[in-house]
Amino acid sequence: MKKPVIDASGVDLTFQTKDAPVHALKDVNLQIDKGDFVSFIGPSGCGKTTLLRCIAALETPTGGSLTVNGLSPDEARKARSYGYVFQAAGLYPWRTIEKNIKLPLEIMGYPKAEMDERVKRVLDLVDLSGFGKKFPWQLSGGMQQRASIARALAFDADILLMDEPFGALDEIVRDKLNEELLKLWDRTGKTICFVTHSIPEAVYLSTKIVVMSPRPGRITDVIESPLPRERPLEIRDTPEFIEIAHRVREGLREGHNT
Ligand SMILES: Nc1ncnc2c1ncn2[C@@H]1O[C@H](COP(=O)(O)OP(=O)(O)OP(=O)(O)O)[C@@H](O)[C@H]1O
């Protein structure tokens, strides 16, 4: 039997704050398989980012067990099992796009020739060939976000953790990036965990949609998408798509009522 890439069992997290403790995650059980595209959707403050940060070993659950590639999140971090894409592109304005992408590789001590080769490959993957010598501020918001995806891809981690990467972009740019991300996922076979507030985005992108309740964040529904891998944007007008979107909306509503 194949092992899940990410395996959460009874994950709980309570933040100790100066005021009252904040119960952010409650009894989270989830298995993510290799090559899955998983979206996490839920109301603001329900713990989506916290769950992603637990997977990335940026937070430590206070209960339950969590493994990434069969390792503890901390071991997985050291093994560079994932790349992380944040809400804001987070590129250094004084470094060119190329040099931004190289930064994690420099820290890891890659030889120059290999760094150059990798930068070229990932720029090509996100359709930014020819922009390596530009500075971030010379690029549009969507291009900057693509550059930040390229940076997360540069060291070939097989998991990509993405925290609302397109939330700040207008709808047209977001549609385009969604389409490109699906193609990239298809080409690379990566496992992607993607946080979003948008029902259409979650349904369009995912093989699995994880619906979460308001705080303390629990999983109220996991929807296995019946949509084909190949998804033109027009798929959003089909009855199948609308039905899944409806189920997500119902899940969000139920979460509010329990
Ligand atoms: N370091 C921390 N210390 C205390 N409380 C925290 C900390 N980090 C997050 N929280 C709280 O935990 C809860 C979950 O936060 P989280 O950022 O994971 O939610 P989210 O679902 O990602 O929200 P949004 O959609 O608004 O980004 C929130 O109530 C938040 O205030």
Residue partners of 72: CB distance under 8 A and separation at least 6: 57, 66
Amino acid at 35: G
For ligand 1, atom 16, name the residue with the nearest CA.
47
**Could you report the predicted ipTM of this complex, rounded to two decimals?**
0.96
Residue 36 has pLDDT above 90, yes or no: yes
How sure is the predictor about 19, in pLDDT bands with cuts at 50, 70 and 90? confident
What is the tens place of the pLDDT at every residue in 160-207?
999 998 887 788 888 888 998 898 899 889 999 999 999 999 999 999
Q: Is 92 a pocket residue for ligand 1 (Cβ < 6 Å)?
A: no
8 Å CB contact between 198 and 222: no
* Nearest atom (ligand 1) to Cα of 87: 27
* Nearest atom (ligand 1) to Cα of 50: 18
Beta bridge partners of 192: 37, 160
Q: Is 49 a pocket residue for ligand 1 (Cβ < 6 Å)?
A: yes
Q: Where are the alpha helices (DSSP H) in the chain?
A: 48-55, 73-78, 97-108, 112-125, 141-153, 171-188, 199-205, 239-257
How sure is the predictor about 1, in pLDDT bands with cuts at 50, 70 and 90? low
For ligand 1, atom 31, name the residue with the nearest CA.
45
Question: What is the predicted pLDDT for the residue at 253?
Answer: 86
Residue 2 has pLDDT above 80, yes or no: no
Q: What tokens does 42 get?
A: 């839920």
Decide which of 247 and 125 is more confident. Answer: 247
Ligand 1 center–CA 137 separation, angstroms: 29
Stretch 114-132: mean pLDDT: 91
Question: What is the predicted pLDDT for the residue at 258?
Answer: 64
Residue 39 has pLDDT above 70, yes or no: yes
Q: What tokens does 233 get?
A: 């944007």
Q: Is 17 a pocket residue for ligand 1 (Cβ < 6 Å)?
A: yes
Ligand 1 center–CA 50 separation, angstroms: 6
For ligand 1, atom 8, name the residue with the nearest CA.
50
Residue 123 has pLDDT above 80, yes or no: yes
Question: What is the predicted pLDDT for the residue at 155?
Answer: 80
Question: What domains, with CATH codes, occur in the chain?
Answer: 6-81+157-257 (3.40.50.300), 91-156 (no CATH)
pTM listed for this prediction: 0.91
Phi, psi of 193 (to 5 degrees): -110, 125
What is the tens place of the pLDDT at every residue in 235-250?
999 999 999 999 999 9
In terms of Cα–Cα distance, which of 222, 226, 250 is closest to 39? 222
The mean predicted confidence, pLDDT, of the chain is: 91
* Nearest atom (ligand 1) to Cα of 164: 27
Decide which of 36 and 258 is more confident. Answer: 36
Q: Prior bond to 165 cis, omega within 30?
A: no
Q: What percent of the chain has pLDDT over 70?
A: 98
